């Protein structure tokens, strides 16, 4: 009589069969081959990877051609060897269009967008809030202590305490009109020539970290800003030229894939200076895989699942 009960209960155990998951169905027919270009520094590798994965996940076949020089990748775009890449407005304005640098982000973008399409048939998609330009940096704790959050604050402090702060700069920045002299003029302060330490561009971060200087120049998305607990001082008077990143794409490519403009728009929305700095930090300092970092970023922003 208990046999029956046992058989019944044994049957319950059969419910334990694992359900083998399988991947998505076979790839849908590719929407086309896109060649994504990129320059030869971390931020560019990451941006190219983000774009590649985003396009791949949206059904495009992607070829990546990164690790190129700035002008080279631009040529490759113009010459039909790549289809799109992330370029900076300041770079285009000065290097490709022969214009003077502009500090106003929107203005710079608008001019670039208009001129580049007109002259070179290059379309600039939406600009990201990622401005990879010159920046003045301080140690985070130091800035907090001195109550300095912007370049104006710095100017006030320097004027109040002349000679107290010293500055690390590369040679070019120290002399360029859109560098330190221009900034000092625009904000109305001066470190004084004795207080400016000239060194190679890559060494300013370390000098600042080690306390050799109180203020240093740098580039705003450099991973070391995160790594060394540094802080960018806000360019509240918009003095430094705008180097906003945006995808530049050949006109013909958009003719062929008109949907790309809309598809890529969200990328520009989610990438900003701070985020980029973080991503650079992940790759440069944490030594993480670019693909992993890019995918994680896209997933976090729910651009792919």
Partner 1 sequence: MKFPIGLPRGLTKRFIFLGLWIFLLPMTLIFMLAVFLSQQTLEQQSDDQTFVAAQTLSLQTRQVFDHQIDMLEAFVFDYRNNGNLERLEERASSHALREPVFSEVMLYNADGDPAAGPDAVDSMAPQAVSEVFEEAQWRRSSFVKGVTTESGHVRVYISVPVQEADHEPINGAIIGEINPSYFYHLIQTSTIGSEGWNLLVSSDGTVFTDTKGNRFRNESIREENIYDLLSRGRMGTFRGKFFEEDSVAGYAPVERLPFYAVTIQPESQAGAPIATLQQVLSSGWMLLFLAGLVLLGVSARWIVTPVRRLTDQAMSYAEGESWHLQVMKEKDEIRTLAKAMQFMANDLQEKERFLQRILSSFPYGVITTDSSGYITSVNREGAQLLNISARSLTGRPVETITSKSLSRHIRVLCGRSRPFRNHSEEFNFVNHKQQKLVIKVSSTPLQDEKGERIGVLTTFWDHTEYRKLEQHIQRSEHLAAIGQMTAGLAHEVKNPLGTIQMAGDLIEAETEELRKKYQLRGPAVSMIQEASADIQEETRRLNELVKRFLKMSKPHKDEETTVDIGELTEEVARLVSHQMKRADIDCTVYHKDDGVIVRGDRSQLMQAFLNLALNALEAMERVDRGVLSITVRKKGSNAEISFHDSGAGIPASKLKRIFNPFFSTKQEGTGLGLSITHDLINEHKGSIEVESEYGKGSEFTVRLPLDKEGEEAQ
Give the integer Cα–Cα distance in Å for 252 and 83. 9
Residues making contact with partner 1 (CB under 8 A): 1-6, 9-10, 12-13, 15-16, 18, 20-27, 40, 45, 49, 52-53, 56-57, 61-72, 75-76, 79, 81, 289-292, 295
Residue (46 or 242) nearer to partner 1, CB = 46
Tell me the closest approach of the beta carbon of residue 243 to partner 1, in angstroms: 19
Question: Among residues 49 and 113, whose Cβ is nearest to partner 1?
Answer: 49
Nearer of residues 20 and 211 to partner 1, judged by Cβ: 20
Shortest spacing between CB 265 and partner 1, in angstroms: 20
Least distance between partner 1 and beta carbon 8 (Å): 9
> 163 vs 202, which CB is nearer to partner 1?
202
Least Å from the CB of residue 47 to partner 1: 14
d(CA 131, CA 264): 18
**Residue 74 vs 113, nearer CB to partner 1:** 74
**143 closest CA partner among 72, 215, 92:** 215
Min CB(56)–partner 1 separation in Å: 4
Taking the complex as a whole, the smallest distance from the CB of residue 222 to partner 1 amounts, in Å, to: 20
Q: Which is nearer to partner 1, 22 or 193 (CB)?
A: 22
Cβ closest to partner 1, residue 67 vs residue 190: 67
Residue number, 79 or 193, with CB nearest to partner 1: 79
Q: Taking the CA atoms of 164, 165, 168 and 171 in sequence, report the sign of the dihedral they define.
A: negative
Q: Which residues contact 100 (CB under 8 A, 6 or more apart)?
A: 93, 94
| Shortest Cβ 179–partner 1 spacing (Å) | 24
Tokens of 138: 């301080």
- Please, what is the minimum distance in Å from the beta carbon of residue 50 to partner 1? 10
């Amino acid at each position: 009589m208990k046999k029956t009960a046992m058989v019944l209960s044994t049957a319950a155990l059969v419910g334990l069969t694992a359900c083998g998951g399988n991947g998505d169905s076979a790839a849908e027919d590719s929407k086309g081959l896109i060649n994504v270009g990129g320059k030869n520094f971390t931020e560019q590798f990451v941006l190219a990877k983000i774009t590649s994965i985003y396009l791949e996940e949206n059904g495009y076949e992607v070829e990546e051609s990164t690790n190129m020089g700035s002008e080279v990748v631009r040529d490759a775009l113009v010459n039909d060897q790549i289809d799109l890449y992330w370029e900076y407005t300041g770079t285009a304005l000065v290097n490709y269009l022969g214009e003077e640098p502009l500090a106003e982000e929107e203005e710079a973008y608008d001019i670039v967008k208009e001129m580049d399409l007109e002259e070179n048939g290059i379309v600039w998609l939406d600009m990201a809030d990622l401005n990879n330009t010159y920046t003045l940096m301080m140690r985070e704790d130091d800035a907090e202590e001195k109550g300095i959050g912007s370049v104006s604050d710095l100017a006030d402090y320097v004027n109040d305490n002349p000679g107290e702060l010293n500055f690390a700069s590369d040679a070019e920045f120290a002399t360029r009109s859109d560098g330190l002299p221009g900034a000092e003029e625009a904000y109305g302060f001066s470190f004084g020539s004795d207080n400016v330490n000239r060194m190679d561009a890559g060494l300013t971060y370390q000098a600042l970290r080690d306390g050799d200087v109180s203020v240093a120049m740098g580039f705003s998305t450099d991973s070391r800003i995160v790594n060394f607990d540094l802080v960018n001082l806000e360019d509240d008077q918009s003095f430094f030229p705008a180097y906003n990143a945006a995808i530049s794409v050949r006109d013909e490519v958009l003719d062929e894939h008109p949907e790309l403009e809309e598809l890529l728009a969200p990328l520009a929305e989610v990438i900003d200076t701070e985020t980029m700095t973080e991503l650079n930090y992940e790759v440069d300092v944490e030594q993480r895989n670019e693909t992993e970092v890019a995918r994680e970023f896209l997933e976090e922003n729910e651009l792919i699942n």
